[in-house]
Chains A and B, each alone.
Chain A
Amino acid sequence: MRGRVGVLVAVLLLTTACGKSSGKAAGSTKDSVTIGAALSLTGSLSREGGLTREGYDQCAEVVNAKGGVPVGSRKVKLEMRYQDDQSTPDVASRLVEQMNSAGIKLLLGPYGSASTEAAAAVVEKNGQVMADSAGADDKIFAKGYRTTFAVLSPASRYLSAIVQAVVELAQPKPARVAIVSADDGFSKTAAEGGRDEARRQGMDVVAVEYVPNGTTDVSSALTKIRPLRPDLVLGSVHLAEGVAIVKQSQELGVNPAGGFGETVAPATPDFVRTLGKGAEYVLGSAQWTPDVSGRDDWFGTASDYAAGFRGRFGRDAVYHNAEASAACLALVMAMDRADSVDPKKVRDALAGLDADTFFGPIRFDETGKNTAKPVYVIQIQDGKVVTVWPKGPGAQPLRWPTVPFDKR
């Protein structure tokens, strides 16, 4: 009996120890540079963590296929080193610390604001440099960090972009807006940005309801909102809550004339897949779409990037993929400009970066935010994600107002 118990304990210990392999000391060698990233490969953010990893992999493949980054007289290839943060900020910061001990100074960000915030503190302390791909909460950039640079637009823009798009494109304009927000830092910041913008545009914000982060039950918030008869329901949410808002609105008969606008959920493929017709008309914000204008020497244009991605993964790139590739691209461009892989020089080159890329403009303000790039607004039309704002060559007309759920 005791022997069996011992075996079980050993197995469990091994299971928990997985993903913590430290490996040999890394950093840069003559012809390669190790880029580290703590990523949510398991746990509640494993889906988005996986998308981020694909974006990083795509970047490494494209750069290495061109021989690597020119540094001085040689070309260095990118060697990616991922470790699983289990969707837990504490683990992310510990992994960044371990990478530092292993000599890895150049990092790409984890998925999500919470893990990025935890990692950024360690990065700063150790003199590492991090290109942040998915940590958008403005709070991360309010701490005076000098070594974390985010290629994506800040959280406060996510929902306000949808409000701006609706004000510019919708006829009739919505007058009453209700907001449902998850209670994590990123979503709250985005919700406040949307609320302020809606008020600035003269709309009546009839409710701001908070729901637990990651919940699949938002019925309480919807039951509160329904009698207030909003014209537009905005969600500052992730995928789980975003799907729940639409699904449970169908159940509860919440049918605002302008439909729904949600931050990060609608652009992910799972949104249409899980909601079917319910997903039609839903507006979303995206850090990137294949219609973005701009080009760079590594990936070409946005549609080149999309084609390359499809060639490798067999499906369309979503913005989570693109923002990850863009963070990696920023690091690559900085190494190129600095002519070095030394973290201090790369950091200075990042700070001075002013580049036109497949992801749109990348230029950092003094806090490390990319304020040059707009947030794009998309809409689900006939089961596809199309860009509707800002108006440009690739943008489609907004479908407005919406058709109630039971008439579709």
Chain B
Amino acid sequence: MERFAQSTVYGLLQGGLYGLVGVGFSLVWGVTNIVNLAHGALVVAGAYIAWELNATFGLDPLLGMVVAGLVLFGMGYAVQRGLINLVMNAPIFMTLLLTFGLELVVVNGLVSTLTGDYRSIPTGYASRGFAIGEVRVPYGRLVGFGLAVVLTVALAAFVGRTRTGRAIRATGMDRGAARLMGVPVAHVYAVTFGLAAALAGAAGAVIGTVTTFSPAAAGGFTLRSFVVAVLGGLGNMWGALAGGVLLGVVEAWGGQYLSGTLVNAIAFAVLVAVLVVRPSGLLGRPFYEARVEAG
């Protein structure tokens, strides 16, 4: 019982982090139809920014997270506007190649400038925690989970209620119609990508605080994001959080009652199971499948 309760709580917290990592990936995929293979590299970049600010100025990673988010928003906007927009009409294979190439550039750029060392942002609180009976709740992960929820609410409110947010949704639903209504599509795509990059950066700062990272971790984050996005339903912010939490809890349970080496297999088994029962993901609407692809 102690094991079950502990693993459930830890899995929930871990799942919040997965959600935070995956929500931007899901947003970009849902709106621009780009599977951004460089997403994990953006997460790692966010972790490095927060780490550097902490090492140089002693800035707390929770503040560093804001800076990481802003910097990555700018980078994300520029990359989408200047680079990825060039291949928006090309076959999906091209966008995959381009984002894969970007991932290589970012990851190997980090290795050559900052070395492949493992790093972690030292704080006095991240590894401490409190206990409810036999169940330990670490502060760092609790903060990460809280942030995942807050940022998801904020993102959902932004996309649902603001003018820019509506433009993002409209562009995601039907690019041609949005353009005819006067929506500046290239700008909207870039804002979307910038937002996703900012969220990835924030996730990176939290991950850098509660665990270790190195440039080589980028691929793993992209893989998790993929599972989380498809589990939750593409382009659905709540879906990403739900997908993340489901993944976290199932992995934690799987680790308790099956072999600990099977976590990746468990993640994909969950993915397959959900797709069989609900092909549009947990909270996805079939609407997105029927989206009109207009040039």
Q: A8-B87, A9-B97, A50-B115 are in contact. Are A220 and B252 (CB under 8 A)?
A: yes
Taking a contact as CB atoms closer than 8 A, the residue among B3, B90, B256 that contacts A1 in the complex is B90
CB distance from A406 to the nearest CB of B (A): 7
Q: B175 within 8 Å of A by Cβ?
A: no
Q: Write the B253-267 contact mask toward A (1 if CB under 8 angstroms, else 0).
A: 011100111011000
Q: A219-B10, A220-B256 are in contact. Are A8 and B212 (CB under 8 A)?
A: no
Q: A223-B7, A247-B120 are in contact. Are A212 and B264 (CB under 8 A)?
A: yes
Q: Which of B121-129, B160-168, B269-277, B281-289 contacts A (4 or more CB under 8 A)?
A: B121-129
Q: Write the A33-51 contact mask toward B (1 if CB under 8 angstroms, else 0).
A: 0000000001110110110
B136 pairs with A5, CB closer than 8 A: no
B118 pairs with A239, CB closer than 8 A: yes
Give chain A residues whose Cβ lies under 8 Å from the Cβ of B129.
Answer: 251, 253
B261 pairs with A212, CB closer than 8 A: yes
A47 pairs with B115, CB closer than 8 A: yes
Q: A217 within 8 Å of B by Cβ?
A: yes
A274 pairs with B255, CB closer than 8 A: no
Q: A353 within 8 Å of B by Cβ?
A: no
Q: A393 within 8 Å of B by Cβ?
A: no
Q: A227-B2, A250-B127 are in contact. Are A46 and B111 (CB under 8 A)?
A: yes
The size of the chain B interface, using a CB distance under 8 A, is 52
A46 and B252 CA atoms in complex are apart in Å by 29
Q: Write the B83-102 contact mask toward A (1 if CB under 8 angstroms, else 0).
A: 00011011000100110110
Q: A220-B7, A247-B212, A406-B128 are in contact. Are A253 and B120 (CB under 8 A)?
A: no
Q: B6 within 8 Å of A by Cβ?
A: yes
The size of the chain A interface, using a CB distance under 8 A, is 49
A223 pairs with B6, CB closer than 8 A: yes
Interface of chain A: mostly helix, strand, loop or mixed: helix
User: CB within 8 Å of B: which of A199-224?
Assistant: 209-212, 215-221, 223-224
Q: A87-B216, A216-B217, A406-B128 are in contact. List 11 more A-B contacts (CB 8 A).
A: A15-B104, A49-B116, A211-B260, A211-B261, A219-B7, A220-B255, A220-B263, A223-B6, A247-B127, A273-B119, A274-B212
**21 A-B contacts, Cβ less than 8 Å apart?**
A4-B86, A8-B87, A47-B115, A47-B117, A50-B115, A50-B116, A212-B261, A216-B213, A217-B14, A217-B211, A220-B7, A220-B251, A220-B254, A220-B256, A220-B263, A223-B6, A244-B212, A247-B127, A252-B136, A274-B119, A276-B122
B interface list, Cβ under 8 A from A:
2-3, 6-7, 10, 14, 86-87, 89-90, 94, 97-98, 100-101, 104-105, 108, 111, 115-120, 122, 127-129, 131, 136, 138, 140-141, 210-217, 251-252, 254-256, 259-261, 263-264
